């Protein structure tokens, strides 16, 4: 029987493979490290391709080291020619050349699903995408199964303010129509008691609203990475897009609830990706 976190699939001889193409977070809360945890925790096999090396922790981003494009290409070829990729999660791509390289490889390897988190800024306010790269990133949207912008990211593309349900729905509809892809706009930046997400299902031309009470916790580092990676994981396991989002949101909510017991870092701490593991199970 399938469980919500997908762990029953760990008993299978072949796991669905999800590859994250993103930047790093040495503190482990966000970026490719969070993706690997979320993909594994939701029952898929996690592979990774690093786009940039980022010096960050729960307090700030302090440095970004670019990687040669040839080295990124070597990583892509190594993964895609060896593993049966079931889904791709795209995170921090940083500049136009990386975006164009990734786009060319998506067209070349044609993975079944692509979940694109259009990372533009860290939770602590540092830019993670060069401003001149926004048009190139937008052009990548049409290659995605789903894009998952937060409100500031969506505003940067649609060029109007988003501050309530109506404007979120208008933005999701605009993005889906312009780029012919499904859109999940995350409402965590709203100041309301509830934290709604708006999902535009492009193939079915339908709007959906996911509602949730806002959780009181400072441990929110990497929530966007975690959600998009979990969605990719569930898509690779054969879930519909709507169900993949539903399961991923449930998983993230449990990660956030469990994070209240974590005391890691001096800033916005991480979520608890493996909340369901009982440490007693690891002892004889």
- Residues labelled catalytic: 186, 220, 222-225
- CB contact set of 60 (below 8 Å; sequence gap of 6+): 122, 124, 126, 267
Give the length of the chain: 284
- CB contact set of 159 (below 8 Å; sequence gap of 6+): none
Contacts 24+ apart (CB under 8 A), 238-245: 238/16, 241/145, 241/146, 241/182, 241/201, 242/199, 242/201, 242/208, 245/146, 245/184, 245/197, 245/199, 245/210
Q: How far is CA 24 from CA 29, 67, 98, in A?
A: 10, 12, 15
């Amino acid at each position: 029987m399938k469980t919500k976190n997908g762990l029953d699939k760990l008993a299978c001889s072949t796991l669905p493979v999800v590859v994250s193409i993103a930047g790093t977070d040495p503190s482990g809360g966000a970026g490719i490290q969070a993706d690997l945890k979320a993909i594994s925790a939701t029952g898929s096999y996690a592979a990774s391709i690093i786009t940039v090396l980022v010096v960050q922790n729960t307090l700030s981003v302090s440095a970004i080291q670019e990687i040669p494009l040839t080295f990124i290409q070597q990583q892509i070829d190594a993964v895609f020619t060896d593993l049966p990729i079931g889904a791709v999660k795209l995170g921090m791509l940083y500049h136009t050349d990386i975006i164009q390289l990734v786009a060319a490889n998506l067209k070349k390897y044609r993975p079944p699903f692509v979940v694109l988190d259009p990372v533009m800024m860290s939770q602590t306010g540092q830019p993670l995408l060069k401003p001149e790269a926004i048009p190139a990133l937008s052009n990548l949207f049409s290659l995605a199964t789903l894009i998952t912008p937060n409100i500031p990211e969506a505003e940067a593309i649609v060029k109007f303010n988003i501050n309530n349900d109506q404007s979120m729905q208008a933005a999701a509809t605009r993005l889906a129509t312009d780029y012919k892809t499904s859109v999940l706009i995350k409402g965590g930046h709203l100041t309301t008691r509830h934290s709604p997400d708006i999902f535009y299902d492009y193939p079915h031309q339908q709007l959906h609203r996911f509602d949730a009470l806002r959780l009181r916790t400072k441990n929110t580092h990497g929530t966007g990475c975690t959600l998009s990676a979990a969605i990719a994981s569930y898509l690779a396991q054969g879930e519909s897009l709507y169900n993949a989002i539903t399961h991923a949101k449930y998983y993230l909510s449990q990660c956030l609830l469990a994070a209240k017991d974590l005391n890691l870092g001096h800033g916005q701490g991480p979520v608890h990706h493996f909340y369901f593991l009982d440490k007693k199970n690891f002892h004889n």
